[in-house]
Structure 1
């Protein structure tokens, strides 16, 4: 897997492990430019005559639409394939063969797939850059990058900051990717809060241990809220459970409501990768510290615009 090393052009984006702090700075600077572009002009034609294929084999509304909006705001074209039933995979075609075909039609391919590691495997068959839009319980690089962008707009990552991650930490690919990114910043402290059956995988903990950043695993939600500069809530992912009984045992483990927020810092932010089920009550949405609708969604489009531009033009 190639490191970015200051040059995004024609490189697959499969894991946050490809990024250094200087790569992140470059991407975020371009993201700032895309935000300004959209706010002032709505977009441009920088990617005119470029085609992006979006192959999504798992349900998605935000990420799928975000990539489409990003490409269209830069003047590019789209080949949208949403759902296995709308592709030749239903006939038995492998993802590798599908990628071979669509890399002949397009300049870049964005893939979401339910099987961990399959996007990286399929990328080996592509003639054009492939972006991982989520591979099972593996990674979700652009979600983690947009989350880091949102965090960095509120807190300096070069000063002490506590990021509290709550919910499904076992299957939550956004948690896995964001943890790896945060481990680049030595003054970050991570607090993990989850049911015993949904703890952070050992391989993720081993990864961040090597970087020597501070982290802790606890179960006391109220304690975690009081310490958080960033409270990162996630849903319990029903689709990852093999039986409904196991899901029902943990689905209501951690629910953030207005009462619980009384224990939170005045200058903190509440984040969520979405979709939200019941882990944040609707009353919290109006709290000025809640940024999952007001900032994160738009930041995702700006960052993906930046990534597409860097991958295809520089």
Structure 2
């Protein structure tokens, strides 16, 4: 049985998901893992990416093809689309709606996915809107935590790195706030520490959290260490980037302080914030995390289209 069709018109923000919907989505993703089906035969997905992507674009395309759907799209849409000629995002979306049954949109500007959804006549999935949100990444992150640790409630999650521009971290914090007993540590230098909007959300939901500049301060009790890349492309001040760069790094010595039952995650790509020597540690879950994106996105596409 597919998850509840018609529950969502678009996927723009992690804030659209509640616990019953998450539970249904994760159950369906588990059932779909490693399978192929025909639930989306005849349906077409358009991937419209204005920013680079490897995992998000390819896992969405793999998910659609595994459900017997078809895929069309463009990378570097700023260059390889009529945006190069000055076409507005709204006009591009109106035209793509004539060619596809669902649009997966990545854009460099926060709010672009919501802007697209206003004029779209087919579902729009936000695959990252600048420093705003990346809801499908946070869904697969949460799915991974549940699969790796068997639960989400009651965990201590340390979210590290670029929390100012890191859309994956922002979306994950929103979803973690739905679970009882979760405690969050935001580990980052001040220049890229989490913003007041996320802190206000957690305060409103009575989710305990702390801000720390050092991973050593929290790693001993962390069930999940969620590391992120410092996003050089989003800084306008090179000096700020240099202050943030390399501030939080995970290596073999770090792993010695991490509990044996904990996991390290990363939305990828990484640069130098996780040493490759960590890859062989069974607690390094980031490649398993990336692989989980296919089944999760299969379930999400069914939710919107089946």
TM range (shorter): over 0.9
User: 2:19 aligns to what?
Assistant: 21
* Contact map agreement 1:133 1:141 (CA 8 A) in 2: yes
Q: Distance in 2 between matches of 1:253 and 1:12?
A: 37
User: 2:55 aligns to what?
Assistant: 62
Q: Distance in 1 between matches of 2:193 and 2:217?
A: 17
User: 2:166 aligns to what?
Assistant: 172
* Contact map agreement 1:155 1:161 (CA 8 A) in 2: no
- Indicate which of 289, 298, 306 corresponds to 1:305: 298
Summarize deviations over 1:33-66 as a string: whole Å, max 9, x none. 11052xxxxx122211100010000111111111
- Indicate which of 72, 77, 96 corresponds to 1:79: 72
User: 1:257 aligns to what?
Assistant: 251
Q: 1:8 to 1:277 in 2, by over 3 A?
A: farther
Q: Secondary structure at the match of 1:85?
A: coil
TM-score, length of structure 1 as denominator length: 0.93
Structure 1 residue 155: Cα displacement: 2.9
Structure 1 residue 80: Cα displacement: 1.4
* Contact map agreement 2:34 2:295 (CA 8 A) in 1: no
Q: Distance in 1 between matches of 2:242 and 2:88?
A: 34
User: 2:113 aligns to what?
Assistant: 119
Structure 1 residue 157: Cα displacement: 4.1
Q: Distance in 2 between matches of 1:214 and 1:220?
A: 18
* Contact map agreement 2:14 2:135 (CA 8 A) in 1: yes
Summarize deviations over 1:180-228 as a string: whole Å, max 9, x none. 0000012100011001111101011101111101111112221222121
- Indicate which of 161, 168, 178 corresponds to 2:155: 161
User: 1:92 aligns to what?
Assistant: 86
Q: Distance in 2 between matches of 1:235 and 1:173?
A: 11
Q: CA RMSD in A?
A: 1.4
* Contact map agreement 1:30 1:306 (CA 8 A) in 2: yes
Say if 2:133 is the partner of 1:130: no
- Indicate which of 216, 228, 239 corresponds to 1:234: 228
Q: 1:81 to 1:123 in 2, by over 3 A?
A: same
Structure 1 residue 298: Cα displacement: 1.3
Alignment gaps of 5+ in structure 2: none
Structure 1 residue 159: Cα displacement: 4.2
* Contact map agreement 1:229 1:268 (CA 8 A) in 2: yes
Kindly tell me the number of residue pairs found equivalent between the two proteins. Answer: 303
* Contact map agreement 1:6 1:22 (CA 8 A) in 2: no
TM-score, length of structure 2 as denominator length: 0.96
User: 1:46 aligns to what?
Assistant: 39
User: 1:30 aligns to what?
Assistant: 28
Q: Distance in 2 between matches of 1:96 and 1:33?
A: 36
* Contact map agreement 2:191 2:240 (CA 8 A) in 1: no
Q: What does residue range 266-285 of structure 1 map to in structure 2 within 5 Å?
A: 266-285=260-279
Structure 1 residue 246: Cα displacement: 2.3
Alignment gaps of 5+ in structure 1: 38-42
